[in-house]
Amino acid sequence: MHINSSSYNRVGFLKLYFLCRKTKPRPQVLVSSGLAAAASPCSQRIRKYDAFPGHSRSKRSSKHYRCFSASAPDCNKRTPSFSYVVVGAGSAGCVLANRLTEDAHESVLLLEAGPKDLLLGSLRLSWKIHMPAALTYNLCDDKYNWYYNTLPQAHMNNRALYWPRGRVWGGSSSLNAMVYIRGHAEDYNRWQREGAAGWDYQHCLPYFRKAQCHELGENRYRGGSGPLHVSRGKTNHPLHKAFIEAGKQAGYPFTDDMNGYQQEGLGWMDMTIHKGKRWSTASAYLRPVLSRPNLKTEVRCVATRILFDGGRAVGVEYMQNGQRKKVFAEKEVILSGGAINSPQLLMLSGVGNADDLKELGIPVVQHLPGVGSNLQDHLELYVQQQCTQPITLYKAQKPFHMVKIGLEWLSLFTGYGATAHLESGGFIRSRPNVTHPDIQFHFLPSQVIDHGRIASKIEAYQVHVGPMRSTSIGWMKLKSTNPLDHPILQPNYLSTDIDVWEFRQCVKLSREIFAQTAFDPFRGPEVQPGPQIQSDADIDAFVRQKADSAYHPSCTCKMGSPSDPMAVVDADTRVLGLERLRVVDASIMPSIVSGNLNAPTIMIAEKAADIIRGRPPLADPGVPVYQPPTLETQR
């Protein structure tokens, strides 16, 4: 569906300065019996949403009403039934809704806890989501966001870290920074070794290509005709050029496609931006197929439990408009709520660690101790340098410039509003004998403070840097049996010595890049960590005080072999020990990949759709991947 500039709310945009720069206070953290939960306004907002009409249905001749089975609950009533019930219209759920309804004989109900990505349910897209430069507004606003917080972290000065997760059509692909990074080929080969048979790189690459429509055209690594539009940055900013050149001067290679043959090196990053607008999975996969008669969507509905008939999943119970409702699946229930919501719903439904479930009085349907375990995330921090020239995004945050940028975007979808500004970055190896990059950079010609809640104070540039394969593994558990209560999140950040060492390297190597002559025309004093931070002990203390989540929680419903006691789903995404229940999202990653998670999550859903439909897997045997000439570091 083509939506032109008239579809956006121009009048509302004039409030951009007051909305986008509105400072949100950090959620208060309540600590009880050693456990913390976020006292966020999100729960109240969800309850408020339940009072609003939430029905969204594609054009169809009749509703799906039938009795599922004689033993199914409420079978004496006329209950809605579909081939598949997909819980979560996020990065994976939108893909499944599209691919599964390609078969006109199958029907899909797509449930989403949040609203549409539209203005007041109209056909006008919300500029707060679809303007790339406005991303910090939604990252720090609970309207489209679950607004999670972790437990206080013992190795990070007892700080509770903030985790935004999408609660809207498109999920986190409607909130993220739009960076399209797949990870390294070895990540997927490792998945195979970890028990996810058929998920090695040669079997995953074709699904990355299938999803993608890259503006630079198709080759062996890039797709050219998929629904997910991917582009390169258009600003041509001198600070981005300086960062890439400084990397070369520091001894790192240039890579022209970090999603292709060679991830290693610095270069221009791909982004899910199309014609100046965010290209979420709602834009790419869901909205174009809303007219299909075999697809129905529901919004503002919170799934409360999976309905079981013995060991078979037969439907989903959810709350909407203050009412408890049930829907039945003739074939399968598919959870695509993400790395927090999917394991939470499993546990609420009696699938998880039996001891934990019994403590809360939840009847055990299937003992799977891996549910909520194996929690992994990327940490990052900002190394910031003052800029001596007035070329950063500092002025763009002033009211006059914000209105000017906004009006250009609303009229033409061009200019500073048409990018998230994270246009350069890259991957390097931290030390000898590392076979593939373990440090990632995102460069930004601006200063970020408190997740973007606070406007930058000075002309400055920064690099977001962090290790890619943390050895600190965490867990999540239910706080209560109330589906609206946020679960307890314990990522165990920086709990291993190697993670601390790698972060120390991140700071040192970032400083080394910023010290190169390419930055001589721009370099002012170091803002963060600051010139006083030099010793290893001081750097470690800085990391513990300033590192924050990169918003990549994953791996909480691990895919693996049935013989793995911590596996939750098998290589076909089926929940172990149960029938007709799958999980398809970032939670099933056996281990976190070396990069951002939106692209891999979309790939997972594309591949899972073929598995569900019984199609033979795509493969590209023998695809070449760059191997460093030596296991010494590039420098």
Q: Which residues are annotated as a binding site?
A: 168, 176-179
CB 144 within 8 A of CB 167: yes
DSSP states along 252-267: PPB-S-TTTT--SEEE
Hey, what are 264's tokens? 């290693």
Q: What is the rounded distance in angstroms from the CA atom of residue 156 to the CA atom of residue 153?
A: 5
Instruction: Kindly state the DSSP code that residue 283 receives in the 8-state scheme.
Output: I
Terminal CA-CA length for the chain: 49
| 552 a catalytic residue | yes
Three state DSSP letters for 217-236: CCCCCCCECCCEEEEECCCC
Q: What is the rounded distance in angstroms from the CA atom of residue 167 to the CA atom of residue 170?
A: 8
The length of the chain is 635
Hey, what are 461's tokens? 């540039």
Q: What is the rounded distance in angstroms from the CA atom of residue 435 to the CA atom of residue 81?
A: 50
Annotation: binding site for FAD:
168, 176-179
Hey, what are 29's tokens? 């953290």
Cβ partners under 8 Å of residue 138, min gap 6: 128, 129, 144, 145, 164, 174, 175
CA angle in degrees (0–180, nearest 5) for 143-146-150: 140
Q: How far is CA 155 from CA 33, 35, 335, in A?
A: 19, 16, 33
Of 433, 412, 434, 384, which Cα lies nearest the Cα of 546?
384
Helix (H, G, I), strand (E, B) or coil at 22: coil
Q: Tokens 């022209």 map to which residue?
A: 256
CB 450 within 8 A of CB 459: no
CB 381 within 8 A of CB 546: yes
CA angle in degrees (0–180, nearest 5) for 536-540-544: 170
Is residue 529 reached through a cis peptide bond, with omega within 30 degrees of 0 on the bond before it? yes
Q: What DSSP element (H or E) covers 274?
A: strand 273-274
Helix (H, G, I), strand (E, B) or coil at 562: coil
* CA quadruple 135, 140, 145, 148: dihedral sign: positive
Hey, what are 228's tokens? 């997910």
Cβ partners under 8 Å of residue 194, min gap 6: 560, 590, 591
Hey, what are 261's tokens? 């043959």
Identify each DSSP E strand in 470-520 by its residue range.
475-477, 488-490
Instruction: Kindly state the DSSP code that residue 505 receives in the 8-state scheme.
Output: H
Of these residues, 130, 237, 486, 552, which one is catalytic? 552
Active site residues per annotation: 552
